């Protein structure tokens, strides 16, 4: 399994765990994970403060962490709460930071 596939699998699980405004089934979570990865490749490390906000979830690419992380946050009506952290494989991180 390649780096993209591994990351997408882990991100899908993180999305399901995190919830958001709509509970996600696996196909819907996977589709969102694919959009997040595409956005990551599109804008890379300059995604501040967040890469994508969708369905009550915020995706933050923390390229300055070791290993780099995709942090999933949930809006609770008052503030963003960290819900899941998914390591970004080095192969993806290197491609994004070129």
* Cβ–Cβ under 8 Å, residues 75 and 36: no
Residue reference for tokens 């709460």: 81
Structure tokens at 66: 């070791």
Strands 69-75, 52-54: parallel, antiparallel or unpaired by DSSP? Answer: unpaired
Cα 77 from Cα 91, distance rounded (Å): 36
Q: Return the SS3 of 18.
A: helix
**How many structural domains are present in the chain?**
1
Q: For 3-54, what is each residue's pLDDT tens digit?
A: 999 999 999 999 999 986 667 889 999 999 999 999 999 887 777 678 888 8
Higher model confidence: residue 27 or residue 93?
27
Q: Say what the pTM is.
A: 0.89
Quote the domain boundaries for residue 49: 3-96
Lateral strand order in the sheet of 52-54: 52-54, 57-62, 69-75, 80-87
* DSSP, res 29: H
> Among 19-23, 30-34, 59-63, 70-74, where is mean pLDDT lowest?
19-23
């Amino acid at each position: 399994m390649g780096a993209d596939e591994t990351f997408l699998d882990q991100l899908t699980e993180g999305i399901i765990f995190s919830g958001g405004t709509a509970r996600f089934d696996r196909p819907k979570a996977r589709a969102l994970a694919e959009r997040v990865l595409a956005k990551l490749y599109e804008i890379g490390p300059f995604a501040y403060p967040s890469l994508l906000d969708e369905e009550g979830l915020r995706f933050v690419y923390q390229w300055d962490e070791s290993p780099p992380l995709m942090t999933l946050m949930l809006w609770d009506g008052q503030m963003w709460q960290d819900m899941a952290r998914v390591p970004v494989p080095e192969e993806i991180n290197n491609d994004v930071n070129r």
